A = this chain, B = another copy of it.
Amino acid sequence: MSLSTNFQPLYKQVYDRLIVRIADGYWKPAAALPSEFALAAELGVSQGTVRKALNQLVAESILIRRQGKGTYVSEHTQESSMFRFFRYREAGGEDLIPITEIVDVERRIATDREAKKLNLDKQLDLVQVTRIRSINGKPAIFERVLQPLAIFPGIDKERELPNSLYTLYQEKYNISIVEVRDELQAVSLPADIAAHLNLAADSPALMTERSSINIDGRVAEWSQAYCSTDNFVYSVSLK
């Protein structure tokens, strides 16, 4: 298919092509992209069109530019991934890195609701990782992370799960989480979860349901987290 046979703006078509190359792992995390000149020649478009597509990818943090060096595929290092998507803070406080303890890893069938959240057919196999995240030595967050085995084959066999799962997803499963969609509610804490967080049952807690979106636009992971807000807040800036 030539680049000009559909009705999207040309730069958007170039953008889509480049996204697919990154999603497919043709360009790996941290890889340098060819020059604008070389890309323009290869794709048969102007250098300005290539630049516009690259600008968009940089704005979305999928690519990064290094002054005088070139354009690279973003890496999700432990830290950058943490700071970008980990939104719990002590009230008015600084960015905090949580310490993570794995409670349990099990393989099971998705419930109807989970399958819907993950855009999966019913009854697909998934891995549920249960973990507790502590901030400044205090257990703060009880979390269940669901990983479809179709997307993460054999992930329940990983010997060690890192603090930031997204790094693992990118390095071993070619899944690059570029967006998360959070829905927050206040709930009364179920007794079993309250015990893990050293809180009384029925304490008010923040419940976050998160869909993690792969670079190809699909939901790759879905999670549910309960957070005591006696000491912590969910902090976000909207621009």
- Indicate whether A29 reaches chain B with its CB closer than 8 angstroms: no
Chain A residues near B (Cβ < 8 Å): 55, 59-61, 84-85, 87, 89, 91-92, 178-188, 204-207, 227, 229, 232-239
The count of identical subunits is 2
Q: Which of B182, B186, B236, B237 contacts A229 (CB 8 A)?
A: B186
B185 lies within 8 A of A206 (CB): yes
A182 lies within 8 A of B235 (CB): yes
A204 lies within 8 A of B181 (CB): no
The secondary-structure label for the interface of chain A is: strand
Once the chains are docked, how many angstroms separate the CA of A91 from the CA of B185?
A: 9
Once the chains are docked, how many angstroms separate the CA of A184 from the CA of B225?
A: 14
A180 lies within 8 A of B238 (CB): yes
Contacts of A238 in B (CB 8 A): 84-85, 87, 179-182, 236
Which residue of B has the minimal Cβ distance to A235? B183
Which residue of B has the minimal Cβ distance to A230? B185
Once the chains are docked, how many angstroms separate the CA of A179 from the CA of B187?
A: 28
Determine which residue in A59, A186, A206, A236 has the highest number of CB atoms from chain B within 10 A of its CB, and name it: A186
A60 lies within 8 A of B205 (CB): no
Once the chains are docked, how many angstroms separate the CA of A91 from the CA of B136?
A: 32
Once the chains are docked, how many angstroms separate the CA of A186 from the CA of B206?
A: 5
A185 lies within 8 A of B87 (CB): no
Which residue of B has the minimal Cβ distance to A185? B229
The 6 closest A-B pairs by CB, nearest first: A185-B229, A186-B186, A204-B204, A186-B204, A183-B233, A184-B234
Once the chains are docked, how many angstroms separate the CA of A227 from the CA of B184?
A: 11
What are some 30 contacts across the A-B interface (CB < 8 A)? A55-B55, A60-B239, A84-B238, A89-B183, A92-B183, A179-B237, A179-B239, A180-B238, A181-B238, A182-B235, A182-B236, A183-B233, A183-B234, A183-B235, A184-B229, A184-B233, A184-B236, A185-B229, A185-B232, A186-B186, A186-B204, A186-B205, A186-B206, A186-B207, A186-B229, A187-B229, A188-B204, A204-B204, A204-B205, A236-B236
